[in-house]
Amino acid sequence: MALGMWCLPVHAGSSLYDRLGGEPGVVAVVSELVEIMRTDPVSGHIFRKVNHKRLKMKIAEQICMLTGGPCAFDGDDMKTTHAGIPITETDFHRLVEHLVVILDRNGVAVREKNELLAILAPFKRDVVTR
């Protein structure tokens, strides 16, 4: 799903959220990521008992907040959310690999992709549970 909004010219002072396409861009990427991960043959087991609609909403909300968007994230912290879910480093890396492919497919520039990955990388310590 290629989105034209990724290719819009941006102003130098715009937030990462804006440069990712704002709400439509973030929602599209998150939706595609969750759909791919829930059917992933290696890591899909993590998403089997999850409310996918709510998961998409919460991830998009958190990315919005973390990238300078107008959202306030009201979910639990990552450690609490992932406690008791058997997530390995391999699972975490699979998600990141899928995210990079989705960002590339949607024409996200290297700068924005790297900024987003740098924001999300520290969550690894709270997400990987085994």
The pLDDT tens digits for 24-77 are 999 999 999 999 999 999 989 898 888 999 999 999 999 999 999 999 888 777
- Has residue 99 been placed in a domain? yes
Q: Is 123 exposed, middle or buried (0-12, 13-18, 19+ CB in 10 A)?
A: middle
Q: Domain residues for 66?
A: 17-127
Measure the CA–CA gap between 103 and 109, rounded to whole angstroms.
8
Q: CATH no. for residue 42?
A: 1.10.490.10
Six-digit token pair at 21?
A: 């396409």
Total domain count, the chain: 1
Give the pTM: 0.84
The three-state secondary structure class of 113 is helix
